Amino acid sequence: MWMSTFARFALPALRSRTSAVACQALRAGRRPGQVADPLPSCLTSLQLRGQKTLVSTSVPVASQSVRHARALEEARMVEVEWDDGGTSLYPFTWLRDNCQCPLCTLQSAQARQLLMCDLDIHTGIDSVEVINDNKVSVVWPDQHTSVFDSEWLRRRCFSTGARESLQEELFLNDRYYFDSKLSIPTGSFEEVLHDDEAALAWLLALRRVGIVCLKGAPRERGQVARLAERIGYLRLTFYGHTWQVQDKNQANNLAYTSKRLSLHTDYPALHFSPGVQFVHCISQAAEGGESEVVDGFHMVELLQREDPEAYRTLTSTQVDFTDMGRDYCDFLLQSKKYLIDVDCKGRVQRINFNNATRDSVLDLPVHQVQPFYRAMKLFCDIMSRPENVVDYKMEPGDIATFDNWRLLHGRRSYVTRPDCSRHLEGAYLDWDEVMSRLRLLRNSVHKHT
Ligand SMILES: [Fe+2]
Ligand SMILES: [Zn+2]
């Protein structure tokens, strides 16, 4: 019955606040600044094996030749006119700063070696012309020459649409929000380890949906480490390189008991909490131990809609977290976090919520304490509604991989029996490493398709 929660190789239609934007970002060949048509089918066509739909989430820049380039002296910009009639503007200062020649750029690292002290931010330009092979050549007043490839320039067009497309290609920040109706996407552990397309589809779904269950892992320790090595490396914390979730005597974490764990994110006691979590089910309890997850970003959207004041409280009140004990070594952590992190544009970035490690120290004026509890309680009430929670029970050999900055997860209490003990092995990674592997896989898979 629990397994009906999983959908092998296919996702159901998922609601997305930003689905139109996501679809636009999936669309190939957009002209800089041009608004794209939505792709209504893209939300239902995400697949995990050998499919091209999700694999093509990068935004290939339509090859365009440069028709003309000229300097706009007054604006101090170079205007490039493309073959399709569109134009792009590039400030002189930015062009000089990003000269790609071997003097200005260390070729082996693709890193800028031009120093700020040598950059004249008021530079003029001597001449600009289109040269063979579709490149734009700029001669500066000191006769230094910069040659820019047209595709390189086009990717970096400053129009709003082009910048949005490139940012989406680089960071994949448009997510598919889900509720209890989600069928958790699944993939094969072995395929993900050995097949680049499967690995790419896994990581794309992990980013877009927030959770993927990999099936068929050997029922022994060490598999989450193998999976982490497929990406790069895992993240060491005070609970070790990997950690064993079992009912332990003198548990140094609530997870290491057989008690219920309410919905939480892991490790808000670290100022930079782990971005991604792998949990491998080596053996499962016969009774209890079911897992639950909820889409925290979606819950924030609901909170903001239902009670803007509570949303403001949770995005602006710093909460203390603490964690102490001994594991990899002894530790005594303190942190201050907003329960909901938003960026400068008001977009949710991360949920930091763990009732077990939320400190009794509460650094608030006394009259703000009750409003804070009201907001926190409401957020928990929303995330606990049956229509928002996805229930499932892991089977031995399953590895749940999920976004620890976005999803909250919990488990039901379970019964420990000598003949049937529950054992999960977990590991953390950070999103930088996961996104790095995702970009590399996307590039290599694209090259071969
Ligand atoms: Fe956890
Ligand atoms: Zn140069």
444 alpha carbon to ligand 1 midpoint, in Å? Answer: 34
Ligand closest in space to the Cα of 354: 1
Ligand closest in space to the Cα of 262: 1
**Residue range 65-86: mean pLDDT, rounded:** 96
94: which 2 tokens? 């930015």
- Per-residue burial over 174-195, b = 16 or more CB atoms within 10 Å of its CB, e = otherwise: bbbbbbeebbbbbbbbebbbeb
27 alpha carbon to ligand 1 midpoint, in Å? Answer: 36
**Residue range 99-113: mean pLDDT, rounded:** 97
**Structure confidence at residue 324 (pLDDT):** 97
**Structure confidence at residue 23 (pLDDT):** 30
If pLDDT is split at 50, 70 and 90, which confidence band does 61 have?
A: low
Average per-residue pLDDT for the chain: 88
213 alpha carbon to ligand 1 midpoint, in Å? Answer: 16
Measure the CA–CA gap between 106 and 93, rounded to whole angstroms: 19
**Structure confidence at residue 395 (pLDDT):** 98
183 alpha carbon to ligand 1 midpoint, in Å? Answer: 21
**Structure confidence at residue 133 (pLDDT):** 77
247 alpha carbon to ligand 1 midpoint, in Å? Answer: 14
318 alpha carbon to ligand 1 midpoint, in Å? Answer: 21
146 alpha carbon to ligand 2 midpoint, in Å? Answer: 5
**Residue range 74-78: mean pLDDT, rounded:** 98
Instruction: Single out the residue of 243, 235, 195, 145 nearest to residue 434, CA to CA.
Output: 235
Provide the percentage of residues in the chain whose pLDDT is more than 90.
83
144 alpha carbon to ligand 2 midpoint, in Å? Answer: 6
Tens digits of residue pLDDT in 159-204? 999 999 999 999 999 999 999 999 999 999 999 999 999 999 999 9
Statement: 66-162 belongs to CATH 3.30.2020.30: yes
Q: Give residue 23's identity as a one-letter amino acid code.
A: C
289 alpha carbon to ligand 1 midpoint, in Å? Answer: 13
If pLDDT is split at 50, 70 and 90, which confidence band does 38 have?
A: very low
130 alpha carbon to ligand 2 midpoint, in Å? Answer: 17
410 alpha carbon to ligand 1 midpoint, in Å? Answer: 7
199 alpha carbon to ligand 2 midpoint, in Å? Answer: 39
163 alpha carbon to ligand 2 midpoint, in Å? Answer: 24
**Structure confidence at residue 448 (pLDDT):** 80
Tens digits of residue pLDDT in 388-445? 999 999 999 999 999 999 999 999 999 988 888 999 999 999 999 999 999 999 999 9
Statement: 2-55+175-447 belongs to CATH 3.30.413.10: no
If pLDDT is split at 50, 70 and 90, which confidence band does 344 have?
A: very high
Is the model's pLDDT at 31 over the cut of 60?
no
**DSSP assignments along 236-303, one per residue:** -BTTBSSEEE---TT-SSGGGSSS-EEEE-S-TTSSS--SEEEEEEEE--SSB--EEEEEHHHHHHHH
Domain boundaries, the chain: 2-55+175-447, 66-162
**Structure confidence at residue 55 (pLDDT):** 39
If pLDDT is split at 50, 70 and 90, which confidence band does 26 have?
A: very low
374 alpha carbon to ligand 1 midpoint, in Å? Answer: 24
Measure the CA–CA gap between 167 and 157, rounded to whole angstroms: 12
4 alpha carbon to ligand 1 midpoint, in Å? Answer: 23
Tens digits of residue pLDDT in 228-266? 999 999 999 999 999 999 999 999 999 999 999 999 999
- Contact status, residue 7 vs residue 182, Cβ threshold 8 Å: no
